[in-house]
Structure 1
């Protein structure tokens, strides 16, 4: 039977947000991260309510299916509590939260997930993402329209297709039961971590020979070092022997404080004072959109229009650049044709139009006139000058140079 060797939960407001709308829970067998929707009123309230309700499911069960039903039922019940809370507090209308939860039963890990917080498993040094993001960009990735790398910077990356809140009475929750074994390290995190720290760095940090709390702190620091534009919450669970001693459940983030809502919103001026001057990249507010084909098709069409505009703009600037290069080349070539120099052609002194240098395979000069003066008959000094070419400002100057060379033979 698998047991919890160690666990840890850490939450940080980040570098940009004014308040922490994440919540985390590390209990006896149950672990959870909930990320309140920052673009709606009461994201912190939503994540706290869900965390408090789901924590009630931290108990022993007869079987893994029973544990899975209890965990999913707790999330559905939490969703009803959110709707009831909004009914009594209209200022919280539209609040919502993600929820990613795990419950250990013997050697099975029961998982329930909705939204874009993530669950990862590190096994034998290899990291796997267990949960699937319920986001618009994930649907694009699944459809093969964009890559995972493009999804990280997509303008619609903040659009959630499924959440807990007052928007759906019966939200669809992903549930699964997976085997777990000693040596496994599980991670639950909000997108404040996964959206900033790369997959490779997550794997490196999780595979480090360090305790759960130390790794959790390192991951939060990695997000802060990357700018931390959103709240960051990390829950680490290590499976193995010996089991962790019994400790009180740990609650972090907004759920760690008493629920308080209905008070006037914090003045914008006071909020502005709390924002740091350092802002590495713009913060996009997470928001929910209905998981419907109409919305999906609408956004796809919008993306198609954006791509067409982008191609047109790039085409315009590329054309303008090419035109500018052509103009410069033409004007430059015309200028070279106003220049002359004296050199050697077939052993005789000759006048060339253009400049001595060539640009790659393009010749920047041509023979203008070949004289009857043999270079070999010139004085040694004049021979060297002609062989190296003598620059002339104009055809008149070049003609005068040739005349002086002819006079030197008399």
Structure 2
């Protein structure tokens, strides 16, 4: 039987050699033969169907152990297994959504005192030195802090503006998830945008995050990154396949795996609840800042510059001094006693 090289097999299966190596290492799809000297992998044409099935199961988020079980089933049983998996996932998602809504509703009722802590804030949003248009957006008020980074062509600017505008009306904590869902549906198939935002009710904060925009907290002199990038390189780092230094310089470091408007299925946003403390300083920013200005410089600026407006301008200046190859958006917000 004729064997296909890994490159030829990858093209036939509409996959990448890297994905095939992962399938092999995970025990999902072993090559038909391996050259003992070079270690080069070869596949049988009949393995294409299994490769495509594994790829499809990964796209719907099925864990690797379950993929191994489903891929080993007779063809007539695969559809039923996938349907059962998706029904269980849908039920878990609906249960989680109800639990979050109830929790947020309780928090909204339980903390309505806004006079003890106030917010001083500043925003900056610039095209940068290379891009011709600006697809970033930034917004700040006493109740909402938000940055968004649009993509997908000219409509990206409109998508990021829409995401920020949806929150600028100060949604309640209980309706925050529904607001995000509405933006996702409105832009699905048109453009994508990332979003990182904080919605405040008294001292209670809801942090919502999708994509590679970021939120940082400076508290007691320590700078913490509160969000986790939804990017391909971050996934590779999480799986131990890329070092942090490699990820920072990787040509695909901006490749998103999660964004508003980015897929046929509803996007799942990261949602965290926090408590505001006097003296906290938050930085929300697009990757036009975080990917260009190193963490030490962010820390030094946020620590040394007491005024939010001056700090935001200094961060923008640092990005411009570094070449500003991307759009830049940031919000600096201080929580202080009234």
TM-score (norm 2): 0.64
1:160 is paired with a residue of what secondary structure?
coil
Please state if 1:97 is matched with 2:193: yes
- Find the counterpart in structure 2 of residue 210 from structure 1: 306
Q: What is the CA distance between 1:210 and its match in structure 2?
A: 2.1
Please state if 1:220 is matched with 2:316: yes
Contact 2:119 2:142 in 1 (8 A): no
Q: What is the CA distance between 1:166 and its match in structure 2?
A: 5.6
Contact 1:108 1:178 in 2 (8 A): yes
1:277-336 per-residue CA deviation (whole Å, 9 max, x = no partner) reads xxxxxxxxxxxxxxxxxxxxxxxxxxxxxxxxxxxxxxxxxxxxxxxxxxxxxxxxxxxx
1:28-62 per-residue CA deviation (whole Å, 9 max, x = no partner) reads 2111101001x534110111111112222x15x5x
Q: Structure 2 unaligned segments of length 5 or more: list them.
A: 1-112
> 2 CA distance for matches of 1:101 and 1:209?
23
> 2 CA distance for matches of 1:22 and 1:184?
25
Q: 1:77 aligns with which of 169, 182, 201?
A: 182
- Find the counterpart in structure 2 of residue 229 from structure 1: 325
Contact 1:4 1:29 in 2 (8 A): no
Q: Structure 1 unaligned segments of length 5 or more: list them.
A: 62-66, 84-92, 243-410
- Find the counterpart in structure 1 of residue 157 from structure 2: 44
1:344-373 per-residue CA deviation (whole Å, 9 max, x = no partner) reads xxxxxxxxxxxxxxxxxxxxxxxxxxxxxx
2:249 is paired with a residue of what secondary structure?
coil
Q: 2:281 aligns with which of 161, 164, 185?
A: 185
1:236 is paired with a residue of what secondary structure?
strand
Cα RMSD, aligned residues only: 1.5
1:152 is paired with a residue of what secondary structure?
helix
- Find the counterpart in structure 2 of residue 199 from structure 1: 295
Please state if 1:24 is matched with 2:138: yes
Task: Give the aligned length.
Answer: 224
- Find the counterpart in structure 1 of residue 123 from structure 2: 9
> 2 CA distance for matches of 1:34 and 1:209?
24
Contact 1:13 1:231 in 2 (8 A): yes
Structure showing the higher helix proportion among its residues: 2
Moved beyond 4 Å, runs of 4+: none
1:176 is paired with a residue of what secondary structure?
strand
